[in-house]
Structure 1
Amino acid sequence: MPTPPAPSAKLLQLLPEAVVQTDALWQITYLNPAWHKLTGHSVEAALGRSLLEFVHPDDIGTMRSGMPVFRLRFAGADYRWVRLQLHPETDAAERVISRQGVLIEITEVTEQVLVEVRQRFLRLLETIDGVVWEAEIGVGNTFLSPQVERLFGYSVEEWRADPNFWRAHVHPDDLEQALVIDDAAYNATHSYAYEMSYRLIAKSGKVVWVRDLCRAVVEPGRPNRMIGLMIDVTQQKNTELELVRSENRYLLATRGSNDGIWYWNLRTDALHVSGRFHQIVGLGDCDHVHDGGWRFLEKLIDPEDRGRVQAAYRRHLAGNSPNFSVDFRAFHGAGRLVWVNWRGLAEF
């Protein structure tokens, strides 16, 4: 039986539904007359333009991701809900070369339902303690959740008005490394997840530490895009920095003190000693961790004093003394005995 012929272009011209065709980059390549009847835009004026120009800015990201329901700008600048299920045509290498579909207005039937779904979606986003975002090369952010204003002070509109907004507000000291990671995602050949930490300058001038959990999305026939979640980790970073400062102050204090500082983890038997501790017993001047804490001390303490030293710290560990302090003779690295005082406090 012979194969029936494909529908002719003349038939497409007669269809009452609007038929839309775009290339891989969303440029409109074909419209039938029903497009003008439905949208009010002339076919001639729309051909060659990007279909995304007619899509509501808030819906571009979801529409590009494959959502067939979105708002389309009709003549007169009003947006109406439509359904456009685009079917991609690919080449031998599975690269998209065109998309075709039928455009139907669904405003009257589903607008209230869609509004409710969208509101639920936005309320869900508001429960996330971070900024959900989507971005595309050359376009900038195509979606940002409302928390962006609470965390950084900038409105969604301010952020999306400039494709380079994010790059312009990353802290200068972090920008170079952030751009290396960002550019790698834009030029990736496969999808992958990644994360980065950097500082962002808020509208108030405050510096906000950000942990960005991202995913590069690579799809045939379209520019790479990224989706992610920005989390404010300023408090965590400040805590880490304060800990580093405290450790530095501790190091300065121990170096300026005449006492040898030590820390003994009785569970692992690791004994941490300062450089001054080693100096006192003639074993150098560097901090060190002795994996066998008691073995090290046993070799250090004069045999005649070992029992007395053990009894002192065991009484303390048993709760029979508020701390312990014991004098004993220690073997010095030079071969002589030196008297030292060993004192400490157990932490349970």
Structure 2
Amino acid sequence: MTQLSNSSHWQILQVLAEGVLGVDHSGQVTFMNKAGLTMLGFDSEHEVIGKGVYELTHRPANYSSSNGTPNEVPGCAIINALESHHPIEDQDEFLWRADGTILPVCINAAPIFDEQGQVDNLIVAFQDRSSRHAIKQELILQKEALQLERRLFIGGPTVIFQWQMVPGWPITYVSPNVFSVLGYKPQDLIGGAVIYPQLVHPDDFERVSQEVEYHRSIGSEYFEHKPYRLLHADGSYRWVYDFTVIERRQTGSDYHSGYLVDITKHKETELALARSEHRYRPAQSVARFGIWEWDVETQSVYWDAETLRLLGYDAQEGILMDYSEFISRVHPDDRQALEDAVKSVFANPQQDSYTLQVRGQRPDGGWQWIESLGKVVEFSQTGNPKLFMGTVKSITKD
């Protein structure tokens, strides 16, 4: 086999897809192939020949040398290989480009020794790893996000479950915070000492089972259960919100994974409000007064069914509207008085209520005189009204 000439060597280097450069014993660049120049953003070899490799590829702020060797070379794989006389293989490194941006690379380097056994040159090959670095960074961010989500879930009222879709719904995983939410140890649920279907309230079990079968039959990937009750270890029941993902498998039984959120306090408040409304509705109907609510932040106004009936609407339920729609239902001649009353409360929060007589629009286009009492029941952190509530009653006015 004949030895390749220097010209042949150079031609081979020029067609390589990876960057190749040479460094002499003093740390100065002796050559760089076309791929290397392109990666680092140089137009020609003249821009790099004779330059200190550390100065060229790392740009240290404290760079100072008389012979091309930097005073400090922290983290420079090329200089470390030159000084240690040891080759490097597949080492990740960051090199500066000519425009000041940074290029992630993988470096391989091999020293070339002279007859006295001293390092004469160092041949360095480097590959662009921008895509790999970006993927690696994305994986790191995803891992951090998953760790954060896990901490948030496990530290709060949300319990993560996985169970197998076979009779008895055996649990294969449950997050540790199930003990603080439902009072059971994870190993009791996973080991089968506690059977999940037996925890579902008897009045809810049939509905929960039907929801599971329905979503499986229509091919749902995920679904939400209507709130249902689970038996706590102390004998009480907890209301939960259940979000489930169906994991269909080609072999073996399917799995359901999801999370439960303890919504007991919210549900109890909701039920208490419903009972309260049921109690006062007969008296409200006899006294002929309606109830309204205005959320200043969302600009939404709620009229209950009795308010609508006072205005002549055949209503069984209340309606939610935005503030502009609410104003449109007030007689044009009365709108300014209403706006002024509201503004006075905003201007003087200590005056947290008002009483006003205005005309509300009936479904036939006519107008009904009503008396509205409004009161601020919640203030924002800045002290401004946040939530108004009030009553409406029909009045006769000549």
TM range (shorter): 0.3 to 0.5
Larger CA Rg, structure 1 vs 2:
2
Q: What TM-score, normalized to structure 2? A: 0.41
